[in-house]
Amino acid sequence: MLTTSLLDSARSLAPDIVALRRAIHAEPELGLHCPMTMAKVRDALADLPLQWREGSSTTGAVATLTGGKADANSPRVLLRGDMDALPMDEKTGLDFASTIPGRMHACGHDTHTAMLVGAARLLADIQAELTGTVDFMFQPGEEGHHGARFMLDDGLIDPLPDAAFALHIMPNAAHGVLAGRAGPLMAAADQFTITVKGQGGHASMPHDCADPVPAAAAIIGAIQAMVTRRFKATNAVVVTVTQIHAGTAHNVIPDEVTLGGTMRTLSADHRDKLHGLIAQTASQTAAAYGVSATCEIEFGFPVTNCDARAVALGQRVAREIGGADGWRDLPDPIMGAEDFSYILEKVPGAMFFLGVAPQGEDWTQCCAIHSPRMHVDETALPQGAAMLAGCALEYFDNGFS
């Protein structure tokens, strides 16, 4: 079934894909509840023979398309698109820019949703020939809200599929090129808060106090040394202190200092080890300064691990759709995080990146995701829709061969 006609069919849907993307972009929603976005999706797919399931924890939904040649033993594939935006002001100047202050689709989830709708239409057009079942997962709450985990907990991904695929656009990557890698694609991301407690007093008499400020400064340095000396450099660990809160006046030593930041790891073993070491490092360093420190950790997304067989499948599809130059192997993981990882913990599959820099321009100079000026060359979106649909078709035809 995989021929260049799949991309031709997707390109015929380009006006609808772009229109939906722009409508979603203009009305961005945050977190686990994106009712306006979900309504747009339902309207766009209202004429298709889909079975819908919704949960109680989010406004996400799964639409199922059963192939005309499928039976109880046929393969099942999940395709996912996320829907939520970021809490930031848009500065693109686009005609369809966000109409809601403080919200912007700066991570491309509007395009992910529109491409998934396009893939649903492509597959519905050949439903009679399909030899398997497709679950289209429209997911809110990816931006730190664990939307995929909530949808799993709500039973919306039941039964579990045999394979799962997702796309993420990259505005600073070559136009129309798909990329991926086997193994860790993106990192686990957790947050830490270290509270250093001492005894405050007059800044002119620090000897009468237990000053937590120099202890906090020492903890920051000790954390960086701990990372470089306790973890193998070829399996990346990143700890970044991003917040320091202390004090009320120039002549007052505070009772406590709070440090906050992020931890990124590429394996479950390193994740567990880092959690213990950062607490130990903070506590022991503080003790050397005559104060105390405690560490609280908030779990984020796990590592996004891509199955090598699923990546090989995606490579075949990308090259059949886009030619020999339609695929690029990513040499290294990206230390950002992605909650499609919750799906990939349970199901073999992969996430791929789609370059959407303007065709012919120097993509290295384009704004990255999460920029208030991020732009997308929408002519690449049909290629994403074809890629998603193609992954399902290839799995139906050949599995993870």
Question: 5-185+303-398 and 188-298: same fold?
Answer: no
pLDDT digits (tens, 9 = 90+) for 199-252: 999 999 999 999 999 999 999 999 999 999 999 988 899 999 999 999 999 999
pLDDT tens digit sequence for 327-343 = 999 999 999 999 999 99
List Cα–Cα distances, 67 to 64, 70, 125, 129, 319, in angstroms: 10, 5, 11, 7, 25
- What would the mean pLDDT of 117-141 be, rounded to a whole number? 97
CATH code at 5-185+303-398: 3.40.630.10
Closest by alpha carbon to 82, among 343, 391, 256, 362?
A: 343
pLDDT tens digit sequence for 269-295: 999 999 999 999 999 999 999 999 999
- Which one of 3.30.70.360, 3.40.50.1000, 3.20.20.105, 3.30.1490.20 gives the CATH number of domain 188-298? 3.30.70.360
As a whole number, mean pLDDT of residues 335-361 equals: 96
What is the rounded average pLDDT of the residues 14-18?
A: 98
Per domain, the residue ranges of the chain are 5-185+303-398, 188-298
Taking the model in full, what pTM does it have? 0.94
What one-character DSSP code corresponds to residue 156?
T
The residues pairing with 297 across neighbouring beta strands, listed in sequence order, are: 192
Give the C-alpha separation, 392 to 395, whole Å.
5
Interacting residues of 338 by C-beta distance below 8 A, sequence separation 6+: 142, 168, 185, 186, 301, 304, 351
